[in-house]
Amino acid sequence: MNRLRAYWQEFHPIIHSLLIGTIFVRAASSMSMPFLAIHLSKTTDLSPVMIGITIGAGPLASTVGGFIAGTLSDLFGRRRIMLWALYTWILVFLGFAIGKSAIFFILLNILAGFCRSFYEPVSQALMADLTEPERRFRVFSMRYLAINIGVSVGPLLGAYLALLGGALPFIVTAIIYLLYVISLQYLLNKFGIKQIEGQKKEKVTFASAWKVVRQDVALRYFIVGGILVSVGYSQMTVTLSQFVQGMFIDGAILFSYLMSLNAIVVVAFQLPLSRWAEKKTPLFSLVTGTIMYAMGLLGFGISSNWWAFMISMCVFTIGEILTFPASTVFIDYLAPDGMRGTYFGAQSFHNLGQFLGPVLGGYLLGVYNGTVMFTIIACITLFSILFYTQGRNCYTARTGEPMTMIR
């Protein structure tokens, strides 16, 4: 009990509320969104490329929206941006429940992409503001752990709800998001987050923010590397679902197991791997994680049974565990004081890979086969190591300081 009390007092109460809320909203969203590609392939005559464009519309919107959201959060305050995004997200999920045409789904995915890009970087910047520098890596790791606790149960629950009614997963998701945003708004008021915003706030214009990003060479290298990694990561939820659906009669069930396995592995290994990675550098974690991504992708391409797919997913997931927190630490190093929201928003340019990945993967899957597609994507993912390394070198040359996981 004393250890639990000490842990609770270690971080700001808003940090705990964001982490707990993340579990519930990610469980809700994972009930439905991972299966959208399968749903479109079954209910429409869209080609794999068009399905990729439909799914990728959201990340493409996030690419633009993330930078705008980060700048707006610096200008107008994080609370207002977060709450607006969450309330709009509720309407998006209700739209998914009643949607019929592909165009409507594309428009909803675009709006969902803006909502995600407005909420995610703002909440990360808020977490960083409320946490001492030496504890930020642990907070970012716990956030990713919270995401995967939710995702570990969401796909299986979504499969069950879909049996009761095709629109039910989206309706339940909207209800959970509504409860979350109401409780978050209450807690932000209770713990005086307005005052913290006032202390951290700095006047930022779109022109000055873009100038900083344009002049930061290390940030540009990092963004390109992140785009290439995102091309590989995006295959997990789009082309992989179509690949297993075409290979097995019960491919949708296998895919739901793979999604839950992905999250379960994160829950089981996030903390021990994070402690191990804290002793390394962000670049080491990014390089090692990228190699694991590539090995997992190659494994998907040559798998012929359920067990092989599950082993490949475990390898792929270790890459996630290593790269996600390390990329956040990388951005935190690059961001000047008062510009953290803008830099986390600029990180959303990684989502360009989440658009290009499904389109390229869908094309390769349609023209060739899964083995060729996953092999090519794995090579593209590995190429990101060059950009990450160059970004680190630019930062070190500019500051004369090494990058470590704990500052």
Mean pLDDT for back-to-back runs of 10 residues, the chain (407 residues): 59 81 82 70 74 81 70 72 89 84 84 83 75 78 81 78 73 89 84 53 50 79 92 89 85 85 86 83 90 96 94 95 85 76 72 87 89 95 94 82 61
- Find the CATH number of the domain harbouring 123: 1.20.1250.20
Tell whether 205 is covered by a domain. no
For residues 297 and 236, what is the distance between their CA atoms, to the nearest angstrom? 9
With respect to residue 128, please indicate whether it lies within any of the assigned structural domains.
yes
Domain of 261 in residue numbering reads as: 11-197+210-399
> Which pTM does this prediction carry?
0.76
**Residue 103, in any domain of the structure:** yes
Q: What is the pLDDT of residue 187?
A: 78
**Number of Cα atoms under 13 Å in the Cβ half of residue 164:** 10
Can you read off the two tokens belonging to residue 186? 């209450």
Does residue 93 belong to any structural domain of this protein? Answer: yes
Question: Tell me, what DSSP letter sits at residue 337?
Answer: T
Question: Which residue bears the tokens 């790269």?
Answer: 323
Residue 112 belongs to some domain of the structure: yes
Q: List the structure tokens of 116.
A: 């995600």
**Residue 5: inside a domain, yes or no?**
no
Crossing angle of helices 48-76 and 239-247, in 10° steps, is: 150
Examine residue 404 and state whether it is found in any structural domain, yes or no.
no
Number of domains in the chain: 1
Q: Is there a domain that residue 165 lies in?
A: yes
